[in-house]
Structure 1
């Protein structure tokens, strides 16, 4: 390791004692982009008394996530901060050899052939959801997509299909996620939110009760339903015997939380973007009409729907569900001429990197055509990472890719959702990028496709 003196790139001076803490907490999306526009590829901001490094270049993303992942851990994995308080020791919150071992154990549940087997269930549940919709009515699409994706995730991964339980879980997740983690992973100390504490704890208890009851029932019956839970119950952890209920609980909770949260936000934002870009929507509807002719989509249809895939890829670029990632250095490292000390927190932001003009050309334009291989658009590794990169890339990415395509194609067989007049669309950047006030949308009938669908 170099003996060069510790150095950090320049950044905003901030306020006495708290630095840029208020900007970081109150307007992080604008704060991140302002940092990149003012200071370029790297900047340092004081968050409280702690310097935080921000890196905004594709080569930085590669350095942290692909080339040197073992020198960086996620904040909170050792201290119990942030998500770890809620999710425990799931794949999102563990690091090092523990993460590598647990990921190998869980990976078979997300192999392509198993994920593909969920396609019919995804389409069926989507159809059941839209059967309850009425042309001309206004629905909160964020809530509708939360219920639908939560129902899919609990059925396909854990063989549970209870409408009452799904709604209870949806409310509980909303309470826990919207009220935020009880500890700041950046500040490393408690941030008071006493008014929400009781409600958050009740939401967490509801979720824990559901998961532990499910584990107990499955252990009692010994039934192998071919789902993730059955696999975890049967797994052995080296010579230590079967996995504990706590270990299984943490994995199950992580899959349910991450699985439906990412999908519901993707669908909400994609439908919003399509409502704001009628030329893109018209092109997508034409592709769906040509390939499906009004019938429900199947797994075999997806290769013939490249524009649908491009629309979702562009939505993930435009409004990434996971809008930033953080890492803590285990050892000193050197990057772009700076000698960064161990224990420095670094933030990598999809929100910024997905919108770099020198990479994307016209990042402010919602243009799915950029994902056409014939477009000439060159996307360097590290410029696009909605699910992360490297050994910690989201294990559920194939599930999310399949689900969002099938659900969007199914919705458009009956309806063309439009943003409701007067709707307030405001970002709520929590763990994921949520619409703060939901997504009220008017359900216009897709009259051209309804007759064909009714014949199926």
Structure 2
């Protein structure tokens, strides 16, 4: 379906203000295919699980790099998100060991330690924007857990600069392209922030190269692993550091905020989750191995990621002409698919807008397991997010700790989704602290 110029202008405004809702409205009006815009700003939307399968199964046609070009100034030319081919595959293989069970256990421990410190500072009556808290918490623990204490010492200034750039990148793709092309104060501030980020990260890389031992963590792993015999360059290392920090905290902090919003909005679900945590964990810290004993919290995590997938959309650039659902696309077209739209299709999901963790109970009569193209909060196949297991563990563990140690009243109502790099709650998620319990000794 192609729209008129007036339709395009209205859609452009909607995408900047309410991107998730705009895509869902577009899919309802147009069906599986819609296009809007003209020339270099033209966008083709392919909606639904069939579209997702078509895009993911045709990686030779749809390239990641072209779809995420606006992220290159921040993520870097060699970041996994924006690269294709052998270079991407080599770098992905090198970093995969950092997301195995033992390192993930360590990262989760850092996060929970920092969370306990944060909870210790809360007092009854405090009003807390959890989205703001989670962004700082996950970012600082990611930098510390992934890249060590030296870089973590600068997490406040790094975070401030990252926020400047991410603010610019949370507009729709056409607006991002304009802001990075036409001189403006927003882009000038972003470029200055990028320069400071580069200097700080490259200084840490240089420090480690000059040391006798590159150290531990992800950066140490990448500096000591050669894979095909070729060491990673400083540029590859810089891009890996920055992109992993951003990918880890931008999406996870949003997902955590949505999880609290959804769970604390439903008193029945909240009560069941709290009961499971108290019976299943007792006084124990919700470490990775213990989360397996909390199936309902796992359903809560899955349901949160269905309703509020942090990556609500993905983009590709077509390398050649293609045909889908009767629509003929051209080489060079920007193609967008949407996890958010797919996850709320009534033909796939019963009562799709309802927060219902029990839908993930495999023992439930009528349970139907969704396919990889119907439920894809972390992507599909060889390009599935490397940190998906860590993200799920972080969501479940933080929810468990909040249920163990706090009594909170949700103050935010009718929170609207916004953003592009990650779908976050507009205006945050505000709670009132009613009570905070001290961590209980084990044994």
Length-normalised TM-score, structure 2:
0.90
1:246 has 2:266 as partner = no
Which structure shows the bigger proportion of residues in helix conformation? 2
Partner of 2:70, secondary structure, is: coil
2:311 alignment partner in structure 1? 322
SS in 2 for 1:360: coil
Choose which of 376, 384, 394 in structure 2 pairs with 1:385: 376
Is 1:74 aligned to 2:64, yes or no? yes
Pick the aligned partner of 1:331 from 299, 310, 320: 320
Number of the residue aligned with 1:453:
440
Give the secondary-structure state (helix, strand or coil) at the position aligned to 1:179: helix
Q: Is the alpha carbon distance of 1:454 and 1:356 closer, same or farther for their aligned partners in structure 2, counting shifts above 3 Å? A: same
Matched, 1:417 2:408: yes
Task: Name 1:39's counterpart in structure 2.
Answer: 30
What corresponds to 2:79 in structure 1? 90
Query: Could you say what secondary structure the match of 1:69 adopts?
Result: coil
Paired position in structure 2 for 1:433: 423
Give 3-state SS (helix, strand or coil) of 1:394's partner: coil
- Which of 137, 141, 147 matches 2:130? 141
Matched, 1:404 2:410: no
CA RMSD of aligned residues (A): 2.7
What's the CA shift string for 1:288-329, capped at 9, x where partnerless? 011112432222211110111111111111111111001112
Instruction: Tell me, yes or no, if structure 1 residue 272 matches structure 2 residue 276.
Output: no
Instruction: Answer yes or no: is the 8 Å Cα contact 1:87–1:250 preserved in 2.
Output: yes
Instruction: Name whichever of 91-100 and 374-383 sits farther off.
Output: 374-383
Equivalent-residue separation in structure 1 for 2:171 and 2:396 (angstroms): 35
1:226 aligns with 2:213: no
Structure 2 spans left out of the alignment, 5+ residues: none
Deviations 1:44-75 (A, max 9, x none): 2235665422111112111211x222221125
List alignment gaps of at least 5 residues for structure 1.
Answer: 1-9
346, 351, 369: which one pairs with 1:362? 351
Distance 1:187 1:172, change over 3 A: closer
The count of aligned residue pairs is 439
Task: Render the CA deviation track for 1:253-290: whole Å, top value 9, x for unaligned.
Answer: 11011111111111111111122111111111010011
Counterparts of 1:67-216 in structure 2 under 5 Å? Answer: 67-76=57-66, 81-88=69-76, 89-160=78-149, 165-180=154-169, 184=173, 190=180, 192=182, 194-216=184-206
Q: Relative to structure 1, is the Cα distance of residues 369 and 75 closer, same or farther in structure 2, using a 3 angstrom cutoff?
A: same
**SS at 1:373 equivalent:** coil
Rate the CA distance shift 1:148–1:184 in 2: closer, same or farther, 3 A: same
CA–CA distance in structure 1, aligned partners of residues 150 and 210 of structure 2: 19
CA deviation vs aligned residue, 1:170-222 (integer Å, no higher than 9, x gap): 22222111122799568855454723234323322332222112111111213
How many angstroms apart in 1 are the aligned matches of 2:242 and 2:87? 17
Q: Residue in 2 aligned with 1:54?
A: 45
Residue 224 (structure 1) shift: 4.1
Secondary structure of the structure 1 residue equivalent to 2:109: helix
Match of 2:290 among 301, 323, 345: 301
The answer to whether the 8 Å contact 1:56/1:349 transfers is yes
Q: How many angstroms apart in 2 are the aligned matches of 1:372 and 1:161? A: 44
